[in-house]
């Protein structure tokens, strides 16, 4: 059974001052699309380099998670350091994911150019950074998820099967 981790990166959500909307939006989307059995792991961490880096390392190296989807921390504000944390964790960057997510998002909102999403591989884990807004999450996942099962196969994880009808 595949393991999928969803990591919300937010100072306010980690302190309980703000309801996490991004994490539930990702899980809801995945439950509609993924047809193979999987186990979901959820985390909420504050913005910042160390907090994001440490949870990604734990999920990859200790938990052996196949796919990690982060939400939040990809903008230009001083505390948005998710891409920088990713750079410290991954062994291979997959810039096409970020390029495609920004391209798809720009069709919806002109400020998508400010987003710094990326993706990469650490060992046998694929990590994808998503934006924090639920509507943007759907747009980005619809754009890139068709490539996710094949990427997971290439890096040697357990298979994740997606309903092809969701991408027609």
Range of the domain at 96: 2-159
Residue 164 lies inside a defined structural domain of this protein:
no
Residue 167 lies inside a defined structural domain of this protein:
no
Residue 39 lies inside a defined structural domain of this protein:
yes
Residue 168 lies inside a defined structural domain of this protein:
no
Residue 81 lies inside a defined structural domain of this protein:
yes
Residue 165 lies inside a defined structural domain of this protein:
no
**CATH number of the domain within which 96 lies:** 3.40.980.10
Q: Name residue 162's beta-bridge partners.
A: 34
Residue 133 lies inside a defined structural domain of this protein:
yes
Give the count of domains, the chain. Answer: 1
Quick one: tokens of 60?
């990859």
Read off the pTM. Answer: 0.96
Per-residue pLDDT of the chain (168 residues; tens, 9 = 90+): 899 999 999 999 999 999 999 999 999 999 999 999 999 999 999 999 999 999 999 999 999 999 999 999 999 999 999 999 999 999 999 999 999 999 999 999 999 999 999 999 999 999 999 999 999 999 999 999 999 999 999 999 988 999 888 877
Any idea of the CA torsion for 73, 136, 163, 36, to the nearest 10 degrees? 30
């Amino acid at each position: 059974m595949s393991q999928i981790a969803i990591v919300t990166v937010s100072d306010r959500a980690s302190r309980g001052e703000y309801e996490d909307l991004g994490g539930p939006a990702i899980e809801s989307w995945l439950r509609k699309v993924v047809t193979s059995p999987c186990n979901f792991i959820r985390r909420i961490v504050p913005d910042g380099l160390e907090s994001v880096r440490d949870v990604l390392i734990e999920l990859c190296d200790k938990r052996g998670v196949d796919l990690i989807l982060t939400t939040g921390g990809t903008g230009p504000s001083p505390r948005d350091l998710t891409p920088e944390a990713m750079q410290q964790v991954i062994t291979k960057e997959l810039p096409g994911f970020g390029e495609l997510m920004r391209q798809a998002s720009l069709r919806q909102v002109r400020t998508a150019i400010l987003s710094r999403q990326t993706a990469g591989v650490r060992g046998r884990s694929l990590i994808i950074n998503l934006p924090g807004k639920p509507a943007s999450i759907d747009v980005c996942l619809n754009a890139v998820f068709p490539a996710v099962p094949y990427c997971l196969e290439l890096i040697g994880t357990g298979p994740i099967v997606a309903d092809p009808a969701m991408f027609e």
